[in-house]
Structure 1
Amino acid sequence: MVASIGEVVSIICMAFALGMDAFSVGLGIGMQAIRLKRICLIGLVVGIFHMIMPFIGLLLGSILSNKIEGIAILAAGLLLCAIGCQMILQTFWQKDTQILAPVGFGLIMFAFSVSLDSFSIGLSLGLSGVATVFAILMFGLFSTVLTWLALLIGRRTNHLLGTYSELLGGVILFGFGLHVLI
């Protein structure tokens, strides 16, 4: 019983840590003008990706982990830097279009980039049976809730800071992208 409680606690801690990536990036994205319906959808999509990516990682196994992990981390960092730069530049240009708004393809890219670390966790998970299912469900639950929380905080910040909130959000995303790259 103690071993299973320790395993549950470690899975919950891991899920929280994985969800914090989505939280950090969600703060920046939330500083755009986003409606509550969109916030709900973004959180759900991020949660689904946080369940799909470790599942794919579990299926591929540790043979490919060293080859794919470096490329995946580089792609995620570059994508976050690009989104951050776009948001920064957007504050100085007209607000007609956004390169990667959290809609459609932009939403998929956002969810993919913040869930790449869960892919590598999936590659290294040595769990079996119910623990694997529990871990994947916890990854999805925590990332969904933390994304919702971040988007709501970012939305509130947007109302407080006005135009400069998107600039701040872009700086946060760019900084997080640099952190991933370094």
Structure 2
Amino acid sequence: MYKEEILLIGEMITITIMAFALGMDAFSLAIGMGMIGLRYRHIFNIGVTVGAFHIVMPFIGLIVGKFLTQYFGMLAIMIGGGLLLFLGCQMIYSALFSHDRDSGVIKPVGFGLLLFAVSVSIDSFSAGLSLGMIGAKTIITLACFGMVSMILSWLGLIIGKKVEGYIGVYGELLGGGILLAFGLKLIFPI
């Protein structure tokens, strides 16, 4: 009994560390996204959506991982990187060439929100490919992934919103640069 409790605690610590690692990119990217002047209602919706995708993507990864090879995991990372590059370029273009600040940027609402959520949770898909191999408790793991990424997304979006007020249009450039850099990092790992 005592040994099982220690193993459970060790597994929970491992799952929590993994959830933070997967949620940190959502946090970083949310700072950039928060700089486009979002309302708190949007921040709430974005956090919930990102959290949901951090549950769904590893679950799909678990299912797909049983049937596909490592090649597909790399393809998923490349697609995620491409989405981040697209969003980053869109924000930078809007900041540099659009006189109406909100005209060119893809807002994190509707399809734009889905693009953002997929791009920050694509690494969770890859993690899901390997979750089944370690025998992790699926429901606990997925709930932890979703909760941690949702909280980190909210935190990043709020920080971005606060910083944006101080740096104005340069915030949109910085946010686009952050998205662009993470997209390049996914596509060209060092």
Q: Percent identity?
A: 48
Paired with 1:65 and 1:27, the residues of 2 have a C-alpha distance of: 34
TM-score, normalising length from structure 1? Answer: 0.94
> Does the alignment pair 1:102 with 2:112?
no
> Does the alignment pair 1:150 with 2:156?
yes
Paired with 2:54 and 2:165, the residues of 1 have a C-alpha distance of: 29
Residues 117-165 of structure 1 deviation map (CA, whole Å, 9 limit, x = unaligned): 1111111113558x21000000000100000000000000111111111
Structure 1: any 5+ residue segments left out of the alignment?
none
Contact in 2 for aligned 1:58/1:124 (Cα 8 Å): yes
* Candidates 73, 76, 86, aligned match of 1:72: 76
Partner of 1:35: 39
* Candidates 10, 17, 37, aligned match of 2:14: 10
State the aligned residue count. 181
Contact in 2 for aligned 1:88/1:170 (Cα 8 Å): yes
Structure 2: any 5+ residue segments left out of the alignment?
none
Report the residue type matching 2:114 in the other structure: I
Paired with 1:97 and 1:171, the residues of 2 have a C-alpha distance of: 19
Partner of 2:138: 132
> Does the alignment pair 1:22 with 2:40?
no
Aligned CA distance change for structure 1 residues 156 and 65 (closer, same or farther; 3 Å): farther
Paired with 1:132 and 1:96, the residues of 2 have a C-alpha distance of: 41
TM-score, normalising length from structure 2? Answer: 0.91
Partner of 1:58: 62
Paired with 2:49 and 2:138, the residues of 1 have a C-alpha distance of: 20
Contact in 2 for aligned 1:65/1:123 (Cα 8 Å): no
The RMSD of aligned alpha carbons is 1.4
